[in-house]
Structure 1
Amino acid sequence: MSTPETEHGPVPAVSPEDFKPILELVRDFVRTTVIPREQEIADTDAIPDDVRKQVADMGLFGYAIPQEWGGLGLDLTQDVELAMELGYTSLALRSMFGTNNGIAGQVLVNFGTDEQKSTWLERIASGDVVASFALTEPGAGSNPAGLRTTAVRDGDEWVIDGQKCFITNAPIADLFVVFARTRPADESGPGIAVFLVPADTPGLDVGVKDRKMGQEGAWTADVAFSGVRVPTSALVGGDEDAGYRAAMASLARGRVHIAALAVGTARRALDESVAYAASATQGGQAIGEFQLVQAMLADQQTGVMSGRALVRETARRYVTGEDTRMGPSAAKLHCTEMAGTVADLAVQVHGGTGYMRDVPVERIYRDVRLLRLYEGTSEIQRLIIGGRLVREAQR
């Protein structure tokens, strides 16, 4: 079924009028329900069960899954608006359902067979199934071409062997979207396929939960595959060469989402900085009245505004098909680096207070560091952008 088009691109499944209350509901949920419990999330390293239920009831596990499969069907221009709201609080909240909507769910949406979609997507959209994107390996991170996990055909089954690391939601996942090499790369393709592997499949072993610098409540772990057997129907799209395309397409979309998340986090750091500068005093004078403090606030504000504009424009051009590769990399590079700078300035504005645990800007400072690493490091984004510019000039 084709998507209706206008001169400005595809018509979203959810109209702007219908999206507005969804956005307002998420904003209210973040600010009145989640922010008051940020310390609880950090201290327990977990999202409370009642918060998870509210997230599922709101449809957030499937906001980017098409409506025909039980999701809300939001397009990327709407996705980034939600992400900027979700970035305003503990990033672990978004991480809980991010892979369902993003890098894992989109593989099924864009590359799955009808049978695969009907088997999994409704349960993914409802939150009954948590999907995990198993791409990164000890020797293959931002560049999937270095993949070493193998899948070998054995009659009407595939046998998967290998090791994955830093896999988001692995300890709670019900389904792993697993990338594996079926042959060495050759002139016909990279030889990377993607498989749907239920978490209870024999030979699949999830390691202990990683201890990380930040993002408490967002769980990652190693995942080992030892003689894991899946039927041929587990091969996504029924195509051995779909894996690399699926990875690149899902990561490109995900990069715009991460950029928006970074903007939301930077906005929170800015708001915390402004509130502190207006109330904290030094020598009987609010520190916000000092020009050097105002300069830091100005740099933060400029970063947030530039990031927000770039994210919205990049999402628009992605949806229309004008730019689905270089723009996402540029947005992720700029916005995640910007969020790191804004978080650093937030600690500086707070002075010694900003270095104390249980102060929001201290948590934000640790949380945002990951944004420049996952779904393609800043260095990989620079290679994508620079390489594309040179190739276009050489044509």
Structure 2
Amino acid sequence: MIDLLEEEQELVALVRRFIDREVKPEVQAKEHANEYPEAWIEQMKQLGIYGLAVPEAYGGTPVSMRCYARITEELARGWMSLAGAMGGHTVVVKLLTLFGTEEQKAQWLPKLATGEVRATMALTEPGGGSDLQAMLTTATRDGDDLVVRGSKTWITNARRAGLIALLCKTDPDAQPRHKGMSIVLATPGEGLEVSRDLPKLGYKGVESCELIFDNYRIPASAILGTTPGHGFAQMMKGLETGRIQVACRALGVAAAALEDSLKYAQERESFGKPIWKHQSVGNYLADMATKLTAARQLTYYAADRYDAGERCDMEAGMAKLFASEIAMEAALDAVRIHGGMGYSTEFDVERYFRDAPLMIVGEGTNEIQRNVIVGQLVARSGLD
């Protein structure tokens, strides 16, 4: 197993202390109030979390994908919304680093490293969901500008993002359709409206918004890499990071569910003994721990392939698929173990149960992940 460097281990430990000391004692009240975690976001900036993927040359403190995975899990163990507040940001940093021009990198990466500017990505459309190639948002050339028309939905951090990696069609007539897509580095301005915050079951605190582009103008040089038509492939590479990140959010929720359940099962007694000694409860705990460990190893495997420079879209999809399903199981089992208290808003386990479904449907539904996985199985078999 590939271990973390000493400084990476120290960073993970630092984030864990931040979660245990600052977040966990206060998270329940903030989550129930749907309060934006401004102070915690500022602390995350100070910890360097927004610069974890930014190269040193641009002011970042880059870490391995395995280290990033561990940090994401710790944040989600405290509050899944905190991991969401830096997830899309990191994907945009990766996109800029891999595909941006030197001018684009110099313009954005130093500010992204400190969190002075925070980034998000805009893919999903109201009528498209996971079918990205069916998107209707267009960016039409008009002299030296692009004119963007269309809408996006479920965009995390949209009200606070200073940079939006917008996937849209620059050539609607291209065949195959994905050849006509580009990523536009959009910024808030005239013609871009954040129309509303979507009400949600869980994932509170950070906003998920609808965006409307109504004759929104931006220089054509804002296309990532400046050459149109590569956006779909670029975003698919970025989503390797995104899906590993979502898998790690799921790990954090599952870890918190297990942590709380193990503590409660040792403190709560029935029929004269701690409830963990009842076989039915003990079996839940054993299964939770086993599945969580398996999900971690699958996620670390995807992260290690990424660090090795190997293709990992299938592995990231597997990690996201398995870890998110395990998080949902663990959250439900935590409710079972807590009994009536698990249904009470006075305990954190009800929050885990509300947060867990996001990882099943977010960053490409698990049904889409299965399509990605089987497609890669066939392609890699050499028999298609």
TM-score range normalised by the length of the shorter chain: over 0.9
Q: Deviations over 1:254-294 (max 9, x none)?
A: 11121122112211101111111111122332211110111
Q: Distance in 2 between matches of 1:119 and 1:322?
A: 29
CA contact (8 A) 1:111 1:242 kept: no
Report the more deviating stretch, 236-245 or 152-161: 236-245
Give yes or no for the alignment of 1:341 onto 2:329. yes
Give 4+ residue runs of structure 1 displaced > 6 Å after superposition. Answer: none
In structure 1, the gaps of 5 or more residues are 1-7
User: How has the CA–CA distance of structure 1 residues 63 and 358 changed in structure 2, closer, same or farther, with 3 Å as cutoff?
Assistant: farther
5 Å-filtered alignment, 1:252-271, equals: 252-271=240-259
- Quick one: percent identity of the two aligned structures? 35
Q: Deviations over 1:214-259 (max 9, x none)?
A: 0111211100000001012211101111210121011122111211
Q: State how far apart, in whole Å, the 2-side matches of 1:100 and 1:18 are.
A: 23
Residue 139 (str. 1) matches residue 142 (str. 2): no
Cα 1:276–1:189 change in 2 (3 A) is closer
Give 3-state SS (helix, strand or coil) of 1:372's partner. helix
Letter in 1 for 2:121: F
- Extract unaligned runs of 5+ from structure 2: none
TM-score when normalising by structure 2: 0.95
Q: CA deviation at 1:94?
A: 1.6
Provide the residue aligned with 1:51 in structure 2: 40
Residues 1:78 and 2:67 are matched in the alignment: yes
Shift of 1:189: 5.4
C-alpha spacing 1:83/1:196, structure 2 compared with 1 (3 Å): same
1:3 is matched with none
Matched residue type, 2:182 = A
- 1:1-395 aligned at under 5 Å gives the runs 16-101=5-90, 103-183=91-171, 184-186=173-175, 190-199=179-188, 201-393=189-381, 394-395=383-384
Mapped contact 1:329–1:385 kept (Cα < 8 A): yes
Shift of 1:104: 2.1
Alpha-carbon shift at residue 105 of structure 1 (Å): 2.1
Q: Could you tell me how far apart the structure 1 residues matched to 2:174 and 2:365 are?
A: 23
Paired AA for residue 64 in structure 1: A
How far 1:187 moved relative to its partner?
5.2
Instruction: Report how many aligned residue pairs link the two structures.
Output: 382
CA distance in 2, matches of 1:120, 1:246: 18
Is the CA contact (8 Å cut-off) linking 2:179 and 2:230 kept in structure 1?
no
Deviates more, 1:182-191 or 1:47-56: 182-191
Q: CA separation of 1:309/1:277 partners in 2, compared to 1, >3 Å: closer, same or farther?
A: same
Counterparts of 2:365 and 2:317 in 1: how far apart (Å)?
A: 10
- Asked whether the 8 Å contact 2:87–2:242 carries over to 1, the reply is no
Letter in 1 for 2:282: Q
Distance change >3 Å, CA 134–CA 291, structure 1 → 2: same
Q: Are the equivalent residues in 2 in contact too, given 1:83–1:257 (CA < 8 A)?
A: yes
RMSD: 1.8
Give the distance between the partners of 1:256 and 1:345, measured in 2 at CA.
Answer: 24
In structure 2, distance between residues paired with 1:146 and 1:358: 43
1:188 deviates by 9.2
